């Protein structure tokens, strides 16, 4: 009997200790998830804001650019070969982006003084057409990688900035409409960025969709079958065509 009582007492004491520890642990505030800083903002979400120094002075993103389309283009380090070719190509195509009303902002995980040296070096290079480029868009100082974290461009388990190779297309309402990530050894396509920007602007303006490999001037897709005008069926046939009941194309005339 004594042994049974002693055993029960030990079990009760042990259970009390476990309960006490569990209660203590459960009342502690949970630690913030360290990976939250590295979450990628997705399509349809607001673009994270930041204030930072750049080669064009202090910028407040995206508010400084008002109701313009914005292209945020990031780099892991200055003076890297692939990144240098990308920035020079963006500068070369600056007029094309201007025609679309798109503001370019480049972010790189180095300090402003290194950005200035990198910019000067690139502007002194002669490209294949024997012309030098002028970099008009800002290169933003992200030495503390705060912007890279806000835009989810860092691997939470890595101390390297090599994954800072993102592109974010942001609309006039400061909503993310497209995003891309690339490895360090593969250059990004400026032609594709221009194509996607044109497609996004077209679909937003005319409430249509664009098919595979669409380029400006190509037919667009309709969300729903059109209302055919019985009084002018020929014009309707010239304007629309549908290879299947679920697939309606419309000739696109850029206004």
Is-contact 152 40, C-beta < 8 A? yes
Residue with tokens 């949970």: 30
Report the C-alpha gap between 228 and 46 in whole angstroms. Answer: 39
Q: Which two tokens stand for residue 71?
A: 């292209």
Q: Count of CB atoms within 10 A of residue 31's CB?
A: 6
Q: Kindly state the greatest CA–CA separation across the chain.
A: 104
Residue with tokens 């303006």: 205
Residues 6 or more apart in contact with residue 131 via CB below 8 angstroms: none
The catalytic site residues sit at 83
């Amino acid at each position: 009997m004594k042994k049974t009582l002693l055993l029960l007492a030990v079990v009760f004491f042990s259970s009390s200790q476990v309960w006490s520890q569990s209660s203590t642990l459960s009342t502690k505030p949970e630690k913030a998830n360290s990976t939250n800083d590295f979450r990628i903002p997705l399509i349809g979400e607001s673009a994270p804001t930041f204030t930072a120094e750049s080669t064009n002075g202090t910028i407040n993103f995206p508010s400084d650019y008002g109701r313009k389309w914005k292209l945020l283009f990031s780099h892991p380090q200055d003076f890297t070969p692939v990144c240098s070719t990308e920035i020079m190509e963006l500068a070369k195509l600056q007029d094309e982006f201007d025609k679309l009303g798109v503001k370019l902002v480049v972010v790189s995980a180095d300090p402003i003084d290194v950005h200035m040296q990198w910019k000067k070096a690139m502007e002194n290079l002669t490209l294949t057409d024997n012309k030098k480029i002028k970099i008009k868009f800002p290169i933003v100082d992200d030495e503390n990688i705060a912007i890279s974290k806000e835009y989810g461009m860092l691997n939470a388990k890595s101390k390297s900035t090599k994954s800072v190779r993102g592109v974010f297309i942001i609309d006039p309402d400061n909503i993310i409409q497209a995003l891309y990530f690339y490895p360090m050894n593969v250059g990004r396509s400026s032609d594709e960025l221009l194509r996607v920007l044109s497609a996004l602007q077209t679909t937003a303006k005319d409430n249509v969709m664009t098919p595979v490999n669409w380029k400006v001037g190509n037919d667009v897709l309709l969300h729903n079958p059109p209302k055919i005008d019985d009084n002018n069926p020929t014009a309707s046939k010239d304007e629309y065509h549908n290879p299947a009941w679920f697939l309606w194309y419309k000739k696109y005339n850029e206004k």
